[in-house]
Amino acid sequence: MIGAGIGGLTTAIALRERGIGVEILEAAPQLRTTGTGLGLGPNAVAVLAALGIDLADGSVGQVLEQFELRTDKGKLMRQLPIRDIVTELGAPFVNLHRNELIAVLRAAAGDVAITFGAAVERYDVTVDGVSVTCADGRTASADVLIGADGIRSVVRAQRAGGEAINEYGYVCWLATIPFEHEHLTTGYAGHYWGRGQRFGLIDIGGGNAYWWGTKNLGIVGSRSWQGSTADVLAAYDGWASEVTDVIAATPDSAVVAVPAQDRSFVDTWGEGPVTLVGDAAHPMLTSLAQGAGSAIEDGYVLAHCLAATADPTLALRRYEDARRERTRTLVANSRRLSRIEQIDNPVASTLRNFGIRYTPMSVVKRQNMDPLRFDLPVN
């Protein structure tokens, strides 16, 4: 397997649970520790529980208790029925630092071998399976190759050629810091919607907050942003106090800036004994918060298919068939929601906020639950 991120580690754990040997090649010199926060929905939390990883026990992160949509000034537009949703789905939402999740996954992977500093340059399908060649000349071979190497996947690039990455003209700022505020209660998540920009403030436990912000800057501006925390703060001048306070408390070094990106969905993820998982297969915008969750689902389904099918190549095609429509829908709906979220037109944004306030709760509940529904495959 190529890549030791969330998708790669989850896949390795699921394969190991099924008695299937796995080795990971990772281009980085060590496990990445530069991430910020993320949220895992009940779909992902349930998959990890099936692999023996209980994120609801309070040892890492924070279970979501309250989710509000507010205006840029902090006025409440809608409170989502989180308790009803998690009761119906049978698992909680958990917000945590990416590094915490990686540490938990690495521990659960046990004796799975990870070779760091192994930047794969190409793969070759052989009569016995597949071989890979690294930048330093090292080679490795296996029955199956799984590309879990992210949106700029080398494995995907070799199969699909020079695909363009889609850019949407807004930047995403992200940070995690120790932070206390009267509005940041235990288990709180608040999304603040303005014109052409948004903000999220989330309790991730241990006295820490995860925040993210977006702003329409155009493709070039979003791709090349290199400002300071003061610049981010200026972008949110006049917003709710909890928004400006958490930005002001954030050192420059803690802010990560990335442009909003995805790729056009492709139906074919692999060939022969090669396939993809996570962002390598179906990178998506963050609007549904399902990038990590869908990668975790991928790993579980892939391991199930390999364990249930004698022919590895056939197993990979069954895995892809099982995942294609769900992930296609997540990519498309993330993109659709992103357009609504980033509306800059004053009339359109007013209508959007009106819809948030007055859409029937039954519709709101269904819209939020649909991306979270995932049935674990059974033998």
Instruction: Report yes or no on 291 lying in a domain.
Output: yes
Dump pLDDT digits (tens) for 236-259: 999 999 999 999 999 999 999 999
Instruction: Report yes or no on 250 lying in a domain.
Output: no
pLDDT computed for residue 35 by the predictor: 84
CATH number for the domain that contains residue 115: 3.50.50.60
Instruction: Report yes or no on 24 lying in a domain.
Output: yes
Instruction: Report yes or no on 91 lying in a domain.
Output: no
Count structural domains, the chain.
1
d(CA 75, CA 40): 26
Instruction: Report yes or no on 154 lying in a domain.
Output: yes
Q: Which residues contact 288 (CB under 8 A, 6 or more apart)?
A: 330, 333, 334, 337, 371
Which segments in the chain show pLDDT lower than 50? none
Dump pLDDT digits (tens) for 146-165: 999 999 999 999 988 878 89
Structural domain containing residue 138: 6-62+97-164+264-345
Instruction: Report yes or no on 146 lying in a domain.
Output: yes
Phi-psi region of 218 (alpha: psi -120 to 50; beta: other; left: phi over 0): left
Characterize 88-111 residue by residue with b for buried, 16 or more Cβ atoms within 10 angstroms of its Cβ, and e for exposed. Answer: ebebbbbbbbbbbbbebbbebbee
Residue tagged 């981010």 (tokens): 232
Instruction: Report yes or no on 288 lying in a domain.
Output: yes
Residues 14/53, Cβ–Cβ less than 8 Å: no
Instruction: Report yes or no on 290 lying in a domain.
Output: yes
